[in-house]
Amino acid sequence: MQTTSRLPNGPDQLIDTAALLRRRPRLGEGLIQALLSLAGALSIVTTLGIVLVLGRESLLFFQSPDVSLAEFLTGTQWQPAILRFGLWPLAVSTLVTSFIAMLVALPLGLGAAVYLSEYATPRRRGLLKPLLEILAGIPTVVYGYFALTFVTPILRSIFGADTVKIYNMASGGIVMGIMILPLISSMSEDALSAVPSALREAAYAVGATRLETAAQVVVPAALSGIIAAFIIGMSRALGETMIVALSVGAGPNLTLNPFESAETITGHIARISGGDLSYNSLDYNSLFALGLVLFLITLVLNVISRRVVARLREVYE
């Protein structure tokens, strides 16, 4: 205010003002910028913290004389009580549940995305999309309850209570698929809507039906976005905890049978750390080794999916 009011007074005054502005030290500005950049750096610190914590405890774990990295990576028994630390029982059930989840989520999610983007009228889309978003906003512990008290009884009545255990991988996997479905459908729908309409019009012009346009032109053009959605969904399934903790079981079990109970990596971490756990024990350290495996896998998946999306962007801009 002061400076602007002086401006009309003539050229001499103008120079004075400029000098004044230059001389006045803006201590506060620098301080604020420093604080803001500190806040920005906190996210880097968080990542470093995760890597450091997981790495340090894992190192302690592998340095123990009772543990070998080779056994961890190839062993088929996870029984801390008798010092057996083989990753496979936990890893296999994690993969089986995630595979079932993707088996549910990918076709349904993609189907819903094609319907919303290629078939639905704007009005119907406006009605259906928020409903799918509700599905995405439900806490996972609620899904876990749903798996345990709704899906498991249905599976048991279809396949027989002898075949299907009360805690089983199929029910956890199916419900995990329902949880991931809205993620897949909304990411795929974004990819489909990003396909230029000129492509669709060209397909209609040569006489393609709506299905042929969608399946042979639009979906292939959006494929990288759909793949990215699939990878992100997979990473969500691998890291999901509460659904599997409630419905899949509480004991490592190396099996491919989806109706058997087993324990995933996340379920094991949740169960063991929820009990009384003494720090500096091998049990405690082993959880961080499992956490490290999970962190690395999901990180790689997330990075790959972003690469794929970045390629999609290059195509249409």
Partner 1 sequence: MSAPAAEGVFRSNLSARHRRGRVWRAVFLGSTAVALIALAALGGNILRDSVGLVAVQDAIDPGRLADRPLERLAPAELMAILQDHLSPAVFQRLDSEQPFAERSRRALHKLVIERVVEPQILASWPLDESLLERGRIEAEAARDYPRARLEFRAWVNTNFLSRPMSSDPMRAGIRTALLGSLWLIGITLVFAFPVGVASAVYLEEYASRSRLNRAIQTNIDNLAGVPSIIYGMLGLALFVRALGPLTSGAFLGLTDTNGRTILSGGLTMGLLVLPLIIINAQEAIRAVPSSLREAAYGLGATRWQTVWSHVLPQALPGILTGTILAMSRAIGETAPLIVVGASTFNPSDPTGPFSRFSALPIQIYNWASRPQAEFHNLAAAAIIVLLAALLGLNAAAILLRDRYSRGLRGT
Residues from 232 through 261 that contact partner 1 (CB under 8 A) = 232, 235, 238-242, 245-246
Compute CA 118 distance to the chain's CA centroid, rounded to the nearest angstrom: 26
Site for partner 1 in 59-88 (CB under 8 A): none
Nearer to partner 1, 127 or 256 (CB): 127
Nearer to partner 1, 3 or 68 (CB): 3
Query: How many angstroms separate the CA atoms of 217 and 288, rounded?
Result: 46
Which span (65-73, 129-137, 195-203, 216-224) binds partner 1, by CB under 8 A?
A: 129-137
Taking the complex as a whole, the smallest distance from the CB of residue 97 to partner 1 amounts, in Å, to 14
Compute CA 37 distance to the chain's CA centroid, rounded to the nearest angstrom: 27
Cβ neighbors of 137 (< 8 A, separation 6 or more) are: none
Nearer to partner 1, 3 or 163 (CB): 3
Contact 184/110 with Cβ under 8 angstroms? yes
Q: Give one DSSP letter per residue of 168-234, joined into a string.
A: -HHHHHHHHHHHHHHHHHHHHHHHHHTS-HHHHHHHHHTT--HHHHIIIIIHHHTHHHHHHHHHHHH
Taking the complex as a whole, the smallest distance from the CB of residue 194 to partner 1 amounts, in Å, to 18
Among 67, 102, 170, 178, binds partner 1 (CB under 8 A): 178
Which span (45-53, 69-77, 85-93, 194-202) binds partner 1, by CB under 8 A?
A: 45-53
| 112 is a contact residue toward partner 1 (CB under 8 A) | yes
Nearer to partner 1, 3 or 74 (CB): 3
Helix/strand/coil for 298: helix
Backbone angles phi, psi at 198, to 5 degrees: -60, -35
Among 102, 146, 228, 249, binds partner 1 (CB under 8 A): 146
Nearer to partner 1, 57 or 256 (CB): 57
Which of 265, 240, 229 has its CA nearest to residue 105?
229
Among 15, 19, 26, 74, binds partner 1 (CB under 8 A): 26
Nearer to partner 1, 101 or 270 (CB): 270
| 40 is a contact residue toward partner 1 (CB under 8 A) | yes
Among 36, 103, 223, 315, binds partner 1 (CB under 8 A): 36
User: Token pair of 193, please?
Assistant: 């809507």
C-alpha atoms less than 13 angstroms from C-alpha of 273 in its C-beta half-sphere: 16
Among 70, 137, 205, 314, binds partner 1 (CB under 8 A): 137
Size of the site for partner 1 (CB under 8 A): 87
Site for partner 1 in 180-239 (CB under 8 A): 181-182, 185, 209-212, 215, 232, 235, 238-239
Query: How many angstroms separate the CA atoms of 180 and 236, rounded?
Result: 8
83 DSSP assignment: T
Query: How many angstroms separate the CA atoms of 185 and 118, rounded?
Result: 13
CA torsion sign, 225 to 171 to 100 to 140?
Answer: positive
Which span (8-16, 69-77, 78-86, 142-150) binds partner 1, by CB under 8 A?
A: 142-150
241 DSSP assignment: -
| 307 is a contact residue toward partner 1 (CB under 8 A) | no
Among 87, 148, 169, 218, binds partner 1 (CB under 8 A): 148
Count, residues in the chain: 317
Taking the complex as a whole, the smallest distance from the CB of residue 258 to partner 1 amounts, in Å, to 19
